[in-house]
Amino acid sequence: MSQAMSRILSDTINFGKQYMRSKIGMFFAIILPILLILVFGAIFMKGGSSKITLYVQNLDDGSMGDQFIDAMNKTGIFEIRNIPRNESIERFIANHSLTVAVQIPENFTYDIGMKLALGLEGYVNVTVYGDPSKTTYNMVLGAAGAVAEGMNFALTGTQPVIGTTGKSITSAQKFNYMDFYLPGIIGMTVMINALYAMTGTCAEYKQRSYFKLLATTNIKKWEWLVSKFLFYTALLSFSLVLTYLVGRMAFDMQSVLTPMAFVLMAAGAFAFTALGMFVGILVKDPEGATAIANAIGFPMMFLSGSFFPIEIMPDYLQAVASVLPLTYLNSGLRDTMVYFNDASALVNLAIVIVCGVIFFLLASKYMSWKEK
Amino acid sequence: MGEKHVEVKHLSKHYPPDIKAVDDISFEIEKGRIFSMLGPNGAGKTTTVEILEGLRTPTAGEVFVLGEDILRGYSKIRSRVGTLPQNFEPFDMLKPWEAIQYWANLYDRRITKREINELLESVNLSDRKNLHSKKLSGGERRKLGIALSIVNNPELLFLDEPTTGLDPKARRDVWELIDSIRDRGTTIFLTTHYLDEAEKLADDVAIMHRGKIIAEGAPGELIERYGKGTSIVLENAGRTGLKMLMDMGIDAELDPINSNNVIVTVRKHSDMKSMMARLASSDIPVTDIYTMRENLEDVFLSLVGSKMEDGVLKQ
């Protein structure tokens, strides 16, 4: 083994011992993600929400589509959100792990008008996509039927022209809420451990003159950086597996821990370790480190899609999310673990790695173990 | 003249706008000696030692450590130098034996368990080797720091205020440890603001004040050069004794602390014997006669004009 490798290994092991022996390290790495998965599971799997979020795609250019949506909204059961017209609804359902969505077809108003004017038989159907085994799907189907009947009565009094039809989406039907949240929690755990811990470590090393001390030994700055990356990759791999197993056992999650998930997690550990080091350059003491890590970490945690889909956020927040590395880590983890779309995950992986390389170069350049 | 382990020539370190942390100092340290840089906080001691350790870049001057110009060849001598920074705290969650093994690896040294135990034994931490370092006392933590600083068997050891903040017992323990390291032939550069520490440990002392070395030499030389001399105290001689001494042509004064005592100051150590003989042959009524040798504290007071307590100058 080369001397550099030996130094890296020794630094990794001894840094790891210190980290794992501190209660805070154990909490953030192991206990927090499990707590989150259990808490979120308890909230979302037991129907704690009073309204059901219903995604609707309105392809109609007339007014009847809007009237149908308005009527669905007035049932008070749903919180309506829009699916963009140019999206494939099936793809949208898959990408967002939805159990149900409604599509109002093109020319909905025109076709209803033609049927009424010409007295044609048959229905103009609103389609309910989703998983028929889920309660929410059947609730939406029933509500849509009731809305259609109400509109039929108002339009003609007798002849029904608006109907509903169901379409089973097999690709999404296995997944539940927790399958959506698990990758987000994993991404957040990677971010918290690497960013917060590294920022704090840098502040402590500065305050206690450890950097000066390290500078008097043979270990190089890049070796120290690599050893931190190795440690967090190993630690977070363990955390990832544990969190996944708890989620699977407790909530029957169907998402899969793919090899790509580990690669993404390692890339995330690299990116956020490097970011933590870079941020650590700016702080002088552990208190300042906590403040600055919170200032970066908290907004990132909530804006990067760890807890809810980015698409539901206002445009300006979506713009912020698009420049956050955690957004791409979360997205990549969902791509591979939930949708089995490794091609899409690869794009997100590349973005995370590029972010990591930029942070690493900045940290290497500006982090100094010596005084001026 | 022995082999020089440190040579410093006209070293300066300035910070904008016009702070002269170190101002044109020169000194040398011979192999195997303890050199103490003595001075109050802010005198420029740590800046100097960190320049010698390659941790700061000088503004001007030349510095050679173990024969290498530190600006060009520090990497060549890094493994031959040991360092204990000021206010050292070990890694809280590592045990002493783990810390030693870790630090040895960072110096590319393969260290055996037996060697680790020997090192722990040498700093009296054998029975504490399995405790997390945060459970060690202040003195034990500093001893562990010294153990880490010599894990690479350095030829030259920099100790930056190794006993600051320790209680008297722990300080004495660390002094013994430093003495034992010197006995192995290691050259030691020691910064301190404790005058007794420098006097006890150092072969050579440089007194630093406001970035400059204001006096340099062996402690005894400095005392001789800058002190008033050795005092002979005539206990309970009183004003009568003082008058008798004056009549004998001996310069004397009443003790400012206890006016019953009379003090006779002898400037040169070589004059001591004859003075003692003269006093013994006189009929001055005394209950006791003893000598009080001046120390570095008196030298410091004489040079700087202030006393120093815990690194702070007192008027």
Stretch A131-147: mean pLDDT, rounded?
77
Mean pLDDT for chain B? 91
Question: Using CA atoms, how far apart are residues A346 and A333, in angstroms rounded to an integer?
Answer: 10
Pick A209's closest partner by Cβ from B79, B85, B108.
Answer: B85
| Cβ within 8 Å, pair A209-B79 | no
Looking at per-residue pLDDT, the higher value among B48 and A213 belongs to: B48
Catalogue all structural domains in chain B, each as residue range(s) with its CATH number.
Answer: 4-219 (3.40.50.300), 230-292 (3.30.70)
pLDDT 10s digits, B8-19: 999 999 999 889
Least Cα separation, residue B232 to chain A (angstroms): 48
Tokens of B147: 């153990």
Contact A247, A29 (CB under 8 A): no
pLDDT at A221: 87
Question: How many Cβ atoms sit within 10 Å of the Cβ of residue A176?
Answer: 19
Question: Using CA atoms, how far apart are residues B36 and B191, in angstroms rounded to an integer?
Answer: 5
Catalogue all structural domains in chain A, each as residue range(s) with its CATH number.
Answer: 3-43+176-366 (no CATH), 49-96+98-168 (3.40.1710.10)
What's the burial of A299, exposed, middle or buried (CB within 10 Å: 0-12/13-18/19+)? Answer: middle
pLDDT at A219: 93
| Cβ within 8 Å, pair B92-A372 | no
Please report where in the chains the tokens 């393969």 appear, as a residue.
B110
Confirm or reject contact between A284 and chain B (CB < 8 A).
no
The answer to whether residue A340 scores a pLDDT higher than 60 is yes
**Following DSSP, what letter does each residue of B44-104 receive, concatenated?**
SHHHHHHHHTTSS--SEEEEEETTEEHHHHHHHHGGGEEEE-TT----TTS-HHHHHHHHH
Pick B106's closest partner by Cβ from A17, A219, A372.
Answer: A219
pLDDT 10s digits, B223-277: 888 877 788 999 999 999 999 999 998 989 998 888 899 999 888 778 888 888 8
pTM above 0.90, yes or no: no
pLDDT at B116: 95
Pick A10's closest partner by Cβ from B88, B91, B102.
Answer: B102
Tokens of B265: 């100051």
| Cβ within 8 Å, pair B106-A217 | yes
Which residues are CB-contacts of A45 (< 8 A; sequence separation ≥ 6)? A176, A177, A178, A251
Question: Using CA atoms, how far apart are residues A209 and A189, in angstroms rounded to an integer?
Answer: 29
**Following DSSP, what letter does each residue of A33-74 receive, concatenated?**
HHHHHHHHHHHHHTT--SSEEEEEEE--SSSHHHHHHHHHHH
Which residues are CB-contacts of A22 (< 8 A; sequence separation ≥ 6)? B92, B93
Confirm or reject contact between B83 and chain A (CB < 8 A).
yes
Contact B248, B310 (CB under 8 A): no
Which residues are CB-contacts of A181 (< 8 A; sequence separation ≥ 6)? A37, A40, A44, A307
Least Cα separation, residue A284 to chain B (angstroms): 16
Confirm or reject contact between A368 and chain B (CB < 8 A).
no
Is beta strand B187-192 parallel, antiparallel or unpaired with respect to B34-38? parallel
Stretch A22-32: mean pLDDT, rounded?
76
pLDDT at A36: 78
- Dihedral angle sign, alpha carbons of residues B194, B196, B199, B201: negative
CA end-to-end span of chain A: 35
Least Cα separation, residue A286 to chain B (angstroms): 15
pLDDT at A244: 86
| Cβ within 8 Å, pair A216-B55 | yes
* Burial readout A221-249 (b: 16 or more C-beta within 10 A, e: otherwise): bebbbbbbbbbbbebbeebbebbbebbbe
Phi, psi of B38 (to 5 degrees): -110, 135
Looking at per-residue pLDDT, the higher value among A171 and A319 belongs to: A319
Split at pLDDT 50, 70, 90, the class of B81 is: very high
Question: Using CA atoms, how far apart are residues A15 and A26, in angstroms rounded to an integer?
Answer: 13
pLDDT 10s digits, A69-128: 998 888 777 888 999 999 888 888 877 767 789 999 999 999 988 888 887 888 899 999
Pick among B105, B108, B152 to test the A interface (most A CBs inside 10 A): B105
Interface of B with A in 222-251 (CB under 8 A): none
| Cβ within 8 Å, pair B106-A3 | no
Mean pLDDT for chain A? 84
pLDDT at A172: 46
pLDDT at A133: 61
Pick among B15, B52, B93 to test the A interface (most A CBs inside 10 A): B93
Strand partners, B130: none
Kind and range of the H or E element at A90? Answer: helix A89-95
Separation of CA B188 from chain center: 10
Question: Using CA atoms, how far apart are residues B22 and B28, in angstroms rounded to an integer?
Answer: 16
Locate all alpha helices (DSSP H) within B129-216, ordered by sequence: 138-149, 168-183, 195-201
Closest chain B residue to the Cα of A369, Cα to Cα: B55
Give Cα separations from A144 to A72, A118, A132, A140, A333 (angstroms).
Answer: 7, 25, 14, 6, 34
The answer to whether residue A25 scores a pLDDT higher than 80 is no
pLDDT at A122: 83
The ipTM estimated for the assembled molecules is 0.81
Confirm or reject contact between B88 and chain A (CB < 8 A).
yes
pLDDT at A48: 45
pLDDT at A315: 80
The answer to whether residue A22 scores a pLDDT higher than 90 is no
Maximum CA extent, chain B: 74
